Structure 1
Amino acid sequence: MEGIISVENSELRKGSKSILYTFRRCPYAIRARWALFLCGKQVEFREVRLNNKPIELLRASPKGTVPVLIRENGQVIDESLEIMHWAIRTSDDNSNKKLLKGFNDKNIKLLIDQNDNSFKFHLDRYKYPNRYEGIEAEEHRKKAKEILKDWDKRIKYSVNLNLFNDSETIADWSIWPFVRQYRLIDSVRFDKDKELINLRRWLESYLNSKSYSKIMKKLSFWKSPYDGISTHA
């Protein structure tokens, strides 16, 4: 599968746990940690500085983005959805296995694709307008909200407050961290928005969970033993 490679460096195989290089606020990393935690995976979380990435991370995945999972056998998975797929597929909890069908469901895949592309495009330009030349943050806020309104309608007409009618799917797990990021830009405005009432209730079900507090615990930045020669990227 795309995003999965193997590492020959035996240094990456030491220890009894898999390793996840992560950044606490990154929505891609959040959804990977969420799946790993709910699927009961024993993983060492290593919080990294994005402006001073440890050499171990760059050796494992030269593109240098998080999350990156290094399994005990040296296999590297450096795409968040692939990490989620692995966690669910190998989970000892059979109740999680039902989420696997979402990876092959056309409609679920389209919704995740909308999040990872269209919504993320507007979210970045709303949140970080100074990073882009000649853009209006408010215009991108409006376009992002149009997508959120569609998701709100999905949840409104679902049976159990999910993005799809029957039950929680991989789409819910994949998308809520990005809605969280949108909300944080202006939480007062988001929480008072009557057009997003159902979406807010859906998001709150994740933010108020015990699992959320576990995966969002603040960690000290991981210090590499090779810190003196860390590569900046």
Structure 2
Amino acid sequence: MKHNILYSFRRCPYAIRARWALLNTNQVVELREVDLKNKPVELIEISKKATVPVLKTSLNQVIDESLDIMIWCIERSNMHALLGDNNDKSKKILSLIETNDKVFKYHLDRFKYASRFNSEELETHQAACMKILLSLNNRLKESSNRRKPLFLVDAKETLADWAIWPFVRQFRIADINDFDQNHEIKFLRRWLNYFFTHKKYPIVMNKNKPWNKVNEPLIFGN
């Protein structure tokens, strides 16, 4: 196998953050866009979960957790500062990501896809999401007050920023006007805009046809 292979889905926030890490650490993969209603046998055979993203390395290692894929990218590229340059900072980074993945995502799904759950509780889940977003906004506000870059941990870009922004993007999509006009999260909006206006954003979010064996391999990150 010539390249590492990433099974992905364009709109999935877990897959987005995996692609973001791959691209920003200069890791080259063969990108296989998955039709979630018709998952390829090759994906199912290497991952019991068969949920994107899944990375199969050129050494046949299978990594099927997005955060693990991101850490693999960072360590492989020797960009360890993104993981925190001391133990306290690393704990802050992982704590923010844990809150995002375990708490924010839970409420986000029930807000964004209320019709699949209990639509009567939509506002409750929206409020729970906003509570977390406001806490992120306050962290960014502290950086702004010190005239430092707007990043979540010690005003430096880290794994936390990379791992969380795709989920904030999803929240925004649920009600774009309300998000964009919400002055309470103005620092968070500026932070998210950093990713939206990044030169690599269009590459990460490019629309690709579902993969099949017949087509030429799609090389991502080259």
TM value normalised by structure 2: 0.89
1:109 equivalent in structure 2: 94
Distance 1:155 1:68 in 2: 32
Amino acid at match of 2:102: N
Given that residues 28 and 66 in structure 1 are in contact (C-alpha distance below 8 angstroms), is that contact kept between their aligned partners in structure 2? yes
Distance 2:198 2:102 in 1: 27
Aligned residues: 208
| Cα distance change of structure 1 residues 184 and 102 upon mapping to structure 2, 3 Å threshold | farther
Given that residues 102 and 170 in structure 1 are in contact (C-alpha distance below 8 angstroms), is that contact kept between their aligned partners in structure 2? no
Deviation (angstroms), 1:224? 4.2
1:62 equivalent in structure 2: 48
Distance 2:86 2:158 in 1: 9
After superposition, where does 1:173-184 map in structure 2 within 5 Å?
Answer: 173-184=162-173
Please list every run of 5 or more consecutive structure 1 residues that lacks an aligned counterpart in the other structure.
1-13, 226-233
Deviation (angstroms), 1:135? 4.6
1:100 to 72, 83, 86: 83
Distance 1:53 1:68 in 2: 12
Say if 2:10 is the partner of 1:24: yes
2:62 equivalent in structure 1: 76
Amino acid at match of 1:202: W
RMSD: 1.6
Distance 2:85 2:122 in 1: 33
Runs of 4+ with deviation above 6 angstroms = none
2:179 equivalent in structure 1: 190
Amino acid at match of 2:50: G
Distance 2:108 2:119 in 1: 16
2:117 equivalent in structure 1: 132
Say if 2:213 is the partner of 1:213: no
Deviation (angstroms), 1:136? 1.6
Deviation (angstroms), 1:64? 1.0
2:30 equivalent in structure 1: 44
Amino acid at match of 2:96: L
Please list every run of 5 or more consecutive structure 2 residues that lacks an aligned counterpart in the other structure.
215-222
Distance 2:119 2:28 in 1: 45
Given that residues 10 and 33 in structure 2 are in contact (C-alpha distance below 8 angstroms), is that contact kept between their aligned partners in structure 1? yes
After superposition, where does 1:10-21 map in structure 2 within 5 Å?
Answer: 14=1, 16-21=2-7
Deviation (angstroms), 1:103? 10
Given that residues 48 and 221 in structure 1 are in contact (C-alpha distance below 8 angstroms), is that contact kept between their aligned partners in structure 2? yes
1:157 to 138, 142, 155: 142
| Cα distance change of structure 1 residues 61 and 103 upon mapping to structure 2, 3 Å threshold | farther
Distance 2:94 2:171 in 1: 21
Given that residues 84 and 93 in structure 2 are in contact (C-alpha distance below 8 angstroms), is that contact kept between their aligned partners in structure 1? no
Deviation (angstroms), 1:133? 4.0
